[in-house]
């Protein structure tokens, strides 16, 4: 590429020498910020309306600008926009350059009092706001799918785990809803992120504000922002909303990764609790029998990708001096990639859950009597024995069963009475997994009534939103 002459740029008036070709490539952002084309055009249309209110644009010029920008948008949408590789540094210069080709001199008035410093903030916030709305909708779909799956499999019991060791019996639905509860937290946090993203920086200039008395409240309302950014110096440098999104996404991805890890384990032959559908699995190029849950493994891997973007951008942000600096261009790519990654991972998660095959008999077979040791302790608590003593007694029963090579349910009442005289024939009722889960009927528990209440709570949340 031949050296690009400085005067071809919007800022080129002060320069006489050509910019280095490598520097142009290093500096440009159009290769990735072109996804902001619609937001940039809508921001410019609103800006033109505000200039018209100040009589900087007359009626005819406003009509020319709006019509011209609509044509530019159509060219982007139809894939007909031709990028000028010698002058189009970013989406703002590309759109303005093309507008000038379409309508002529009137395009030169559009940038009156406006800086790219504020323009990029507007574009990113508008684009991100729309994307966050879509992520919220997908997240709700995942929650709806999870609740429906839980309702369909209410009778299914499985081992509950702590430290990845069998602990107590729970409903499979309860396990599903444990992950849904994390996602509800993500949905609630997203609302705060959306609120903070929706602050309009348009009208703050390069850093000091607008000299023409531009109506910032009008522009914020016209663009659908919920508030006006209160400080011009801060506004052009403010990428806290990007940090908000990246950090919110990092926690969401941690939750999706944990769900993925459970499903990866549960789909192994060693567990056999579930099977991931063919649509979300791949095979081995060498071993014909293999069915790999690559969808879930990729989600687990992409969690690290998103977390890295959050950490990386914070590192870019931490030592910047006041107001706008070019370092802030590094906020655009991670934001775009993060939102794309999260959107894909949520959609894949929904697909995996919707098509997941569940094996109740495998889960039932994994339940063992020692998982009812706490129920044995509770049996004695109901007879007035302090729990610390019953815990010790139940542990002694487990040990006795191990020594005898028997499950604790097969120990005789006589054997149990040797440990505590309070055991009676009714201890046999304790060794019932269904009874165990049904006793845990408090709010948030694993009984059928508690699980149904959790499902109803999710359904209510989704209907309200």
Catalytic residues: 163, 284
352 CA to centre of own chain: 17
The DSSP call for residue 228 is E
**Taking Cα atoms as reference points, which of 346, 348, 260, 256 lies closest to residue 307?**
256
Rg (CA), the chain: 31
Structure token pair of residue 283: 């095979």
Residues with Cβ within 8 Å of 308's Cβ and at least 6 positions away in sequence, in order, are none
Element (H, E) at 171: strand 165-171
Neighbours of 112 (CB within 10 A): 16
Structure token pair of residue 123: 């574009």
Distance CA 168, CA 450 (A): 16
Neighbours of 52 (CB within 10 A): 17
Contacts 24+ apart (CB under 8 A), 429-433: 430/372, 430/375, 430/376, 430/379, 431/369, 431/372, 433/157, 433/169, 433/364, 433/367, 433/371, 433/372
Structure token pair of residue 165: 């060791």
Angle at 15 between CA 13 and CA 17, to 5 degrees: 135
218 CA to centre of own chain: 32
On whether the CB atoms of residues 294 and 385 are closer than 8 A, the answer is: no
**Taking Cα atoms as reference points, which of 42, 3, 33 lies closest to residue 332?**
33
On whether the CB atoms of residues 418 and 151 are closer than 8 A, the answer is: no
Distance CA 101, CA 8 (A): 14
Neighbours of 136 (CB within 10 A): 17
The DSSP call for residue 447 is S
Three-state secondary structure call for residue 160: strand
387 CA to centre of own chain: 43
On whether the CB atoms of residues 214 and 54 are closer than 8 A, the answer is: yes
In sequence order, what are the beta bridge partners of 227?
199
């Amino acid at each position: 590429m031949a050296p690009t002459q400085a005067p071809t740029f919007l800022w080129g008036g002060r320069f006489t020498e050509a910019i280095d070709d490598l520097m142009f490539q290093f500096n440009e952002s159009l290769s990735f910020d072109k996804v902001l084309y619609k937001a940039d055009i809508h921001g410019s249309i609103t800006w033109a309306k505000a200039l018209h209110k100040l009589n900087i644009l007359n009626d005819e010029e406003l009509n020319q600008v709006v019509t011209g920008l609509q044509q530019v948008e159509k060219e982007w949408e139809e894939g007909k926009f031709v990028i000028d590789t010698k002058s189009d540094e970013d989406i703002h210069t590309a759109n303005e350059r093309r507008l000038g080709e379409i309508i002529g001199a009137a395009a030169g008035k559009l940038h009156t009092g406006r800086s790219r410093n504020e323009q990029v903030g507007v574009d990113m916030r508008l684009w991100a706001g729309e994307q966050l709305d879509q992520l919220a909708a997908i997240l709700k779909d995942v929650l709806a799918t999870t609740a429906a799956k839980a309702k369909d499999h209410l009778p299914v019991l499985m081992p509950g785990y702590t430290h990845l060791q069998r602990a107590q019996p729970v409903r499979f639905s309860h396990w599903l809803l444990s992950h849904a509860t994390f996602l509800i937290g993500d949905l609630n946090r997203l609302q705060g992120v959306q609120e903070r993203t929706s602050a309009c920086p348009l009208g703050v200039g390069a850093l000091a504000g607008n000299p023409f008395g531009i109506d910032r409240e009008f522009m914020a309302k016209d663009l659908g922002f919920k508030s006006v950014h209160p400080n011009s110096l801060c506004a052009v440098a403010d990428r806290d909303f990007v940090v908000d999104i990246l950090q919110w996404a990092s926690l969401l991805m941690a939750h999706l990764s944990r769900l993925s890890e459970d499903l990866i384990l549960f789909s192994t032959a060693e567990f056999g609790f579930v099977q991931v559908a063919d649509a979300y699995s791949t095979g081995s190029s060498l071993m014909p029998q293999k069915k790999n849950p690559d969808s879930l493994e990729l989600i687990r891997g992409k969690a690290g990708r998103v977390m890295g973007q959050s950490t990386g951008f914070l590192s870019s942000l931490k030592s910047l001096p006041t107001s706008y600096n070019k370092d802030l261009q590094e906020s655009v790519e991670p934001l775009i990639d993060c939102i794309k990654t999260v959107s894909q991972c949520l959609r894949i998660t929904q697909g995996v859950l919707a098509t997941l095959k569940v094996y109740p008999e495998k889960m039932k077979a994994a339940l063992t009597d020692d998982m009812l040791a706490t129920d044995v302790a509770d049996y004695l608590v109901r007879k007035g024995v302090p729990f610390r003593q019953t815990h010790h007694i139940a542990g002694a029963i487990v040990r006795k069963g191990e020594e005898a090579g028997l499950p604790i349910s097969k120990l005789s009442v006589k054997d149990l009475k040797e440990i505590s005289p309070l055991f009676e024939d009714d201890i046999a009722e304790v060794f019932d997994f269904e009874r165990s889960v049904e006793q845990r009927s408090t709010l948030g528990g694993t009984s059928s009534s508690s699980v149904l209440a959790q499902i109803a709570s999710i359904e209510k949340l989704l209907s309200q939103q």
